[in-house]
């Protein structure tokens, strides 16, 4: 095949690998099918990444950077103090709409153990610290119900990822409607949930 050049091919391979690792899982996806989807032989893939694990690590790093970048852009665009959580969640859903396998890949990263997940999560570490600071400040100011901010962040994270990755459940529970619409509805529902979780007026 006509040599397409180095760095671009590498990126293409990583993107396709994220797609397939997300859809089929790490052990379900094969080097052969990833390479083939990019229009290249398996050995070409192995030229860029010495083995499957190295490919995974590249995917984790790339995914982390992408999410972090997306979130930071969203935060810059909405400097209002109020809808910050909403802006971040919206950014994630935008990414999911453009790249459906992305949330599935993140979930797979979590399944592969803390080591793998940290490779992804380290890119988000500054944002995590910032989020906890934001939540703590909100609690101190009485704008957010008092609770352990780290646990709250964890629960919100899982709610968002869950809502994004459990498509089969959604189909079974509410029937399968158009994918775009369904994503919008899920986003609205999750944002509602987050708002309720943060509200200090909740019955306790």
Partner DNA sequence: CCACTTGTCTACCGGCTGGTAGATAGTGCA
Partner DNA sequence: TGCACTATCTACCAGCCGGTAGACAAGTGG
Neighbours of 89 (CB within 10 A): 22
Asked whether position 18 contacts DNA by CB under 7 A, the answer is no
Residue 50 vs 113, nearer CB to DNA? 50
Q: Can you tell me which of 67, 68, 135, 190 binds a copy of itself, judged by CB under 8 A?
A: 190
Please tell me whether residue 115 binds DNA under the rule CB under 7 A. Answer: no
Instruction: List, as one string, the DSSP characters of 40-67.
Output: S-HHHHHHHSSSHHHHHHHHHHHHHHHH
Judged by CB under 7 A, the residue of 14, 17, 18, 40 near DNA is 40
11 vs 172 by CB, closer to DNA: 11
Site string for a copy of itself, 146-165 (x = CB under 8 A): -xx-xxxxxx-xxx-xxx-x
Shortest CA distance to 58 belongs to which of 109, 101, 113, 95? 109
Binding of DNA by 30 (CB under 7 A) = yes
Interaction between residue 41 and DNA (CB under 7 A): yes
Q: Which does 50 bind (CB under 5 to 8 A by kind): a copy of itself, DNA, none?
A: DNA
Least gap, CB of 155 to DNA (angstroms): 34
The residue from 44, 122, 155, 182 that contacts DNA (CB under 7 A) is: 44
Residues 80-109 binding a copy of itself (CB under 8 A) are 104, 107, 109
Whole-number Å distance between alpha carbons of 60 and 149: 26
Q: Residues of 33-50 as b/e, b for ≥16 C-beta within 10 angstroms?
A: ebbeebebeeeebeebbe
| Residue 181 binds a copy of itself (CB under 8 A) | no
Rounded Cα–Cα distance for residues 93 and 183 (Å): 8
What backbone torsions phi and psi does residue 69 show, to the nearest 5 degrees? -60, -45
Q: Residue from 43, 168, 201, 202 that binds DNA (CB under 7 A)?
A: 43
Q: Tokens standing for 5?
A: 């050049």
Q: Residue 177: which of a copy of itself, DNA, none does it interact with, CB under 5 to 8 A by kind?
A: none
> What b/e string do you get for 150-181 counting C-beta neighbours within 10 Å, with b at 16 or more?
eebeeebbebbbebbbebeebeeeeeeeeeee
Contact residues for DNA (CB under 7 A)? 1, 3-7, 9, 27, 29-33, 40-44, 46-48, 50-53
């Amino acid at each position: 095949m006509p040599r397409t050049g180095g760095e671009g091919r590498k990126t293409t391979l990583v993107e396709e690998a994220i797609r397939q690792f997300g859809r089929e899982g790490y052990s379900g996806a094969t080097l052969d099918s990833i390479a083939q989807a990019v229009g290249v032989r398996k050995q070409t893939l192995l030229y860029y990444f010495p083995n499957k694990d190295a490919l995974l690590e590249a995917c984790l790093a790339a995914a982390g950077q992408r999410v972090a970048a997306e979130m930071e852009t969203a935060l810059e665009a909405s400097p209002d103090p109020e809808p910050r959580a909403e802006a971040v969640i919206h950014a994630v859903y935008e990414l999911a709409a453009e790249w459906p396998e992305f949330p599935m890949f993140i979930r797979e990263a979590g399944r592969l153990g803390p080591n793998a997940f940290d490779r992804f999560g380290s890119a988000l570490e500054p944002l995590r610290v910032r989020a906890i600071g934001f939540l703590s400040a909100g609690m101190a100011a009485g704008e957010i119900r008092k609770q352990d901010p780290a646990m709250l962040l964890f629960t919100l994270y899982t709610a968002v990822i869950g809502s994004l990755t459990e498509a089969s459940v959604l189909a079974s529970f509410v029937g399968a409607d158009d994918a775009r619409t369904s994503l919008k509805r899920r986003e609205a529902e999750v944002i509602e949930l987050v708002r309720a979780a943060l509200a200090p007026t909740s019955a306790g």
